[in-house]
């Protein structure tokens, strides 16, 4: 099933666009945090609609909150019994499931694959940014696999490759961004 069909099914089941954006924000990358005004700017929506959905998610136990200065900051509750299932649905919705399936096939000695950029922050985008850590990658085959994945998910995939010796997590961490480990050999 293509991610377009999956996304259409999700949007049919969940009529609130704000709720879908919040699911993407928090259930794609469990390290994401946000507060009401920040979400208002990011989503371009009224704070009332966002507040209503945040309160519903928190009341149901999907989100937790904590005070940071005068802000109420929200984060996903990874202990919720449905967290892993919702995470899988969101990965499928944005096409990451297909990207991993296509890219990890016989391209070399991969150690880790991270999602970075807008999508790792739970923002809707047509570009999937990956950091591939591995040695002796078959880059022509990798490009071929990326092209197949792009056709299947209707998104572009960009990647950066670090060898295992070159890689340091601090190289891909930017303020406010949380690289999401998608796959690891170990």
pLDDT, one tens digit per residue, over 113-158 is 999 999 998 888 999 999 999 998 888 888 988 898 888 888 999 9
User: Which range (3-7, 42-46, 92-96, 172-176) has the least confidence?
Assistant: 3-7
Helix (H, G, I), strand (E, B) or coil at 34: strand
Mean pLDDT of 156-171: 92
Closest CA to 124 of 22, 8, 6: 22
User: What is d(CA 63, CA 22) in angstroms, rounded to the nearest whole number?
Assistant: 10
Closest CA to 19 of 54, 47, 45: 54
User: What is d(CA 100, CA 117) in angstroms, rounded to the nearest whole number?
Assistant: 17
Percent of the chain surpassing pLDDT 90: 48
What is the third-level CATH fold of 3-76? Arc Repressor Mutant, subunit A (1.10.10)
Question: For domain 95-184, which architecture applies?
Answer: 2-Layer Sandwich (3.30)
Assess contact for 134 and 160: CB atoms under 8 A: no
- Over the stretch 21-59, which tens digit does the pLDDT of each residue have? 899 899 998 999 999 999 999 888 889 999 999 999 999
What residue segments make up the domains of the chain, in order of their start?
3-76, 95-184
């Amino acid at each position: 099933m293509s991610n377009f069909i999956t996304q259409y099914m999700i949007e049919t089941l969940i009529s609130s666009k704000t709720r879908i954006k919040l699911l993407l924000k928090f259930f794609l990358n469990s390290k994401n945090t946000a507060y009401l005004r920040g979400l208002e700017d990011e989503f371009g929506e009224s704070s009332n609609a966002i507040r209503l959905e945040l309160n519903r998610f928190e009341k149901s136990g999907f989100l937790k909150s904590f005070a940071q200065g005068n802000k109420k900051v929200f984060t996903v509750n990874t202990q919720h019994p449905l967290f892993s299932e919702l995470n899988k649905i969101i990965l499928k919705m944005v096409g990451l499931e297909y990207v991993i399936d296509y890219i990890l096939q016989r391209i070399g000695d991969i150690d880790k694959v991270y999602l970075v950029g807008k999508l790792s922050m739970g923002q809707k985008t047509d570009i999937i940014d990956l950091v591939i850590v591995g040695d002796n990658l078959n880059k022509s085959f990798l490009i071929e696999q990326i092209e197949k994945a792009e056709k299947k998910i209707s998104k572009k995939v960009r990647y950066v490759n670090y060898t295992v010796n070159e890689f340091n997590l601090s190289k891909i961490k930017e303020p406010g961004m949380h690289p999401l480990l998608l796959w690891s050999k170990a």
